[in-house]
């Protein structure tokens, strides 16, 4: 603790060491203990000192306090630190409400009691009131902080610890008004609001992340279960005692495939408008609604029909796939493409143009929320076909 006193008091005015005669002739007393001081102008840092042997713990602190208050009161100005929230939370950004500002004051009061606290300075600018604490060696403690927070009056603390090598009013004024500002808010409602908002963002995002994780897990488990089932089915079919049964099934299978082939042929030869009519009827949507599901897709002309015609066919494929039951939630790109190639006379302007177009349209359906990409060119069906008509209601 420095026993040097930066400013001396004479007839209730503060003086700096070089502002009065040197030595005992200075006529100043200690602002804290009120005993006579000696001006030491020839010291490397001019200062005031108590008489030898005298002990005064608070002389330094009290003098800086008083001087800072005097400067603020005389200038009728105070610098307000930037009102900002520095986020330490994931997902929640830092924010600045107002930059550092110089506030012109209408009223300055020193050390008046406000309820159960006595702030160093109380200032008013128009309707705004602020508490200003000056910290030299002692900072605002927890008790005072919580009292200030309860009062909900904006309060700041100016840190003057760096005032130690040049005991002049000019040096102190520089710290208060010109040097990088070592001050912080003890309470500011805007910062509280920004912190609360950040917390909300953090919690919402955290929950969303958790939900995503659980959805991801559920899908993975469902797939695992289905993969196991299909393996079992394959194993069952591979068993030798089923070979005869399989052979007997061959003809009905071949018959079914023949019927399927005919169906595709009948569809393929229809004019585009008729194809579209059938598709939207199948989907239970209007022409206008179909427009909402369609998009311009590069190489879409590979199918030799307008975009909404072949795209409605992709939707029909997904709907039929869903009705099939087994693995109904899964949409396989290759299967869909094979189906499209049977339903249309493909004349791709570039190699695999139909493949690129089908893939891009499935990705477009993902952007609409209908599909979600899983892996290995497979998508999960997120919105069932019976709910598609509600996605774009006819009135909209």
8 lines the binding site for Zn ion (CB under 5 A): no
Which residue's structure tokens are 């790109």?
333
**Which helix (H) or strand (E) element contains residue 279?**
helix 272-283
DSSP string spanning 287-338? Answer: HHHHHHH----TTGGGGSS-HHHHHHHHHHHHHHHHHT-TTTTEEEHHHHHH
Cβ nearer to Zn ion, comparing 32 with 188: 32
**Count of residues touching Zn ion (by CB under 5 A):** 5
Cβ nearer to Zn ion, comparing 46 with 59: 59
- Rounded distance between C-alpha atoms, residue 302 and residue 104, angstroms: 72
381 lines the binding site for Zn ion (CB under 5 A): no
Cβ nearer to Zn ion, comparing 33 with 356: 33
Dihedral (C-alpha) 182, 188, 191, 192: value to the nearest 10 degrees? 140
Closest CA to 14 of 52, 68, 53: 68
Residues 34-73 that bind Zn ion (CB under 5 A): 56, 59
32 lines the binding site for Zn ion (CB under 5 A): yes
Write the CA distances from 382 to 17, 280, 289, 370, integer angstroms. Answer: 80, 20, 19, 5
Find the binder of Zn ion among 10, 27, 33, 114 (CB under 5 A). Answer: 33
Long-range contacts of 352-357 (CB under 8 A, 24+ apart): 353/299, 353/301, 353/302, 354/299, 354/302, 354/303, 356/298, 356/299, 357/297, 357/298, 357/299, 357/300, 357/302, 357/303, 357/310
Q: Which listed range, 28-36, 179-187, 321-329, 347-355, lies at the site for Zn ion (CB under 5 A)?
A: 28-36
Residues 130-149 that bind Zn ion (CB under 5 A): none
Cβ nearer to Zn ion, comparing 30 with 280: 30
Cβ nearer to Zn ion, comparing 6 with 59: 59
**Shortest distance in whole angstroms from residue 151 CB to Zn ion:** 32
The residues that bridge with 78 in the sheet, in sequence order, are 103
**Shortest distance in whole angstroms from residue 63 CB to Zn ion:** 9
Cβ nearer to Zn ion, comparing 56 with 72: 56
Cβ nearer to Zn ion, comparing 5 with 198: 5
At 13, is the secondary structure helix, strand, or coil?
strand
**Shortest distance in whole angstroms from residue 94 CB to Zn ion:** 44
At 81, is the secondary structure helix, strand, or coil?
coil
Q: Which listed range, 26-34, 75-83, 142-150, 234-242, lies at the site for Zn ion (CB under 5 A)?
A: 26-34
**Shortest distance in whole angstroms from residue 50 CB to Zn ion:** 6
**Shortest distance in whole angstroms from residue 9 CB to Zn ion:** 10
**Shortest distance in whole angstroms from residue 82 CB to Zn ion:** 37
**Shortest distance in whole angstroms from residue 78 CB to Zn ion:** 28
Write the CA distances from 114 to 144, 146, 153, integer angstroms. Answer: 12, 14, 11
**Shortest distance in whole angstroms from residue 53 CB to Zn ion:** 13
Neighbours of 106 (CB within 10 A): 11
Cβ nearer to Zn ion, comparing 30 with 83: 30
30 lines the binding site for Zn ion (CB under 5 A): yes
In contact, 31 and 63? CB cutoff 8 Å: yes
**Shortest distance in whole angstroms from residue 57 CB to Zn ion:** 8
Cβ nearer to Zn ion, comparing 61 with 120: 61
In the Cβ-directed half-sphere of 356, how many Cα atoms lie within 13 Å? 13
Closest CA to 267 of 209, 168, 344: 344
**Shortest distance in whole angstroms from residue 133 CB to Zn ion:** 22
Cβ nearer to Zn ion, comparing 26 with 56: 56
- Rounded distance between C-alpha atoms, residue 14 and residue 391, angstroms: 77
- Rounded distance between C-alpha atoms, residue 12 and residue 132, angstroms: 22
391 lines the binding site for Zn ion (CB under 5 A): no
Closest CA to 31 of 2, 62, 72: 62
**Shortest distance in whole angstroms from residue 38 CB to Zn ion:** 12
Between strands 77-80 and 101-104, the pairing is antiparallel
Cβ nearer to Zn ion, comparing 48 with 185: 48
**Residues at the site binding Zn ion, with contacts judged by CB under 5 A:** 30, 32-33, 56, 59
């Amino acid at each position: 603790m420095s026993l040097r006193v930066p400013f001396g008091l004479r007839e209730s005015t503060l003086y700096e060491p070089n502002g009065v005669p040197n030595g005992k002739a200075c006529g100043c007393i200690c602002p804290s203990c009120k005993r006579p001081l000696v001006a030491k102008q020839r010291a490397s840092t001019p200062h005031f000192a108590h008489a030898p042997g005298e002990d005064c713990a608070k002389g330094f602190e009290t003098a800086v306090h008083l001087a800072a208050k005097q400067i603020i009161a005389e200038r009728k100005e105070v610098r307000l630190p930037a009102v900002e929230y520095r986020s330490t939370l994931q997902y929640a950004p830092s924010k600045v409400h107002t930059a550092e500002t110089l506030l012109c004051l209408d009223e300055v009061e020193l050390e008046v009691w406000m309820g159960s606290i006595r702030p160093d300075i109380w200032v008013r600018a128009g309707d705004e009131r602020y508490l200003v604490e000056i910290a030299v060696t002692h900072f605002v403690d927890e008790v005072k902080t919580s009292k200030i927070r309860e009062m909900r009056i904006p309060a700041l603390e100016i840190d003057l610890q760096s005032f130690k090598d040049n005991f002049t009013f000019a040096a102190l004024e520089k710290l208060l008004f010109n040097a990088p500002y070592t001050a912080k808010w003890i309470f500011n409602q805007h910062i509280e609001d920004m912190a609360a908002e950040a917390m909300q963002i953090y919690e919402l995002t955290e929950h969303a992340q958790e939900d995503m994780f659980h959805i991801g897990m559920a899908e993975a488990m469902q797939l695992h279960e289905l993969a196991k089932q299909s393996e079992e089915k394959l194993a069952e079919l591979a068993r030798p005692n089923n070979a005869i049964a399989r052979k007997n099934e061959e003809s009905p299978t071949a018959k079914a495939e023949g019927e399927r082939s005919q169906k595709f042929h009948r569809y393929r030869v229809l004019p585009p408008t008729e194809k579209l009519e059938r598709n939207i009827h199948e989907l239970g949507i209007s022409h206008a609604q179909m427009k909402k599901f369609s998009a311009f897709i590069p190489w879409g002309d590979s199918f030799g029909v307008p975009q909404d015609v072949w795209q409605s066919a992709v939707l029909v494929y997904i709907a039929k796939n869903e009705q099939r039951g087994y693995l109904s939630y899964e949409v396989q790109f290759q299967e869909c493409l094979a189906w499209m190639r049977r339903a249309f006379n493909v004349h791709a302007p570039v190699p695999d143009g139909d493949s690129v177009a089908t893939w891009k349209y499935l990705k477009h359906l993902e952007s609409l929320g209908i599909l979600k990409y899983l892996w290995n060119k497979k998508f999960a069906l997120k919105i069932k076909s019976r709910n598609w008509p509600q996605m774009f209601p006819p009135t909209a």
